[in-house]
Structure 1
Amino acid sequence: MLANSSALVGADRPTAGPVSLAQGVYGARGNLELLACDADDGLWVFWFNADLDSDPLETPDVPPGSWSAGLHFAAGHRYVDALIVQSTLGPDHLEVLALDADGVLQSWYWSPGPGFQRRETDAATHVVRFAAVHAVGVLRLTVEGAEGDAHHLVSTAAGYPERSWAPTATGAPLADEASARALIEAAGAASVGIAPGTARTAASTRDGGTTELTWRDDAGRIRHLGVPTRA
Structure 2
Amino acid sequence: DDVRHLKRLLSLHGRDLLLKLQADLPEKFLLVNWKINKTVTLVRFDPSGKPTVIHNVTGRVQSGENKFSVILKNVQEVDSGLYSAVAGTLEGDKLLTEYKVTVQVSPVELIVDRVDSSSSESCDLHVTCRTHNAHISSTFRCVDRVCIQGGRERPEVTTSGASLQVYLLHNVIICNHSNQVHWTQDFNTTEHFYPLPVWVIAVCTAALTLILIVVLSVWLCIDRRSRTCKSK
TM-score by length of structure 2 reads 0.21
Normalized per residue, which structure has more helix?
Answer: 2
Q: Larger strand proportion, structure 1 or 2?
A: 2
Which structure would you say has the larger Rg? Answer: 2
Q: Looking at both structures, which has the greater relative contact order when contacts are Cα pairs under 8 Å and sequence separation is at least 6?
A: 1
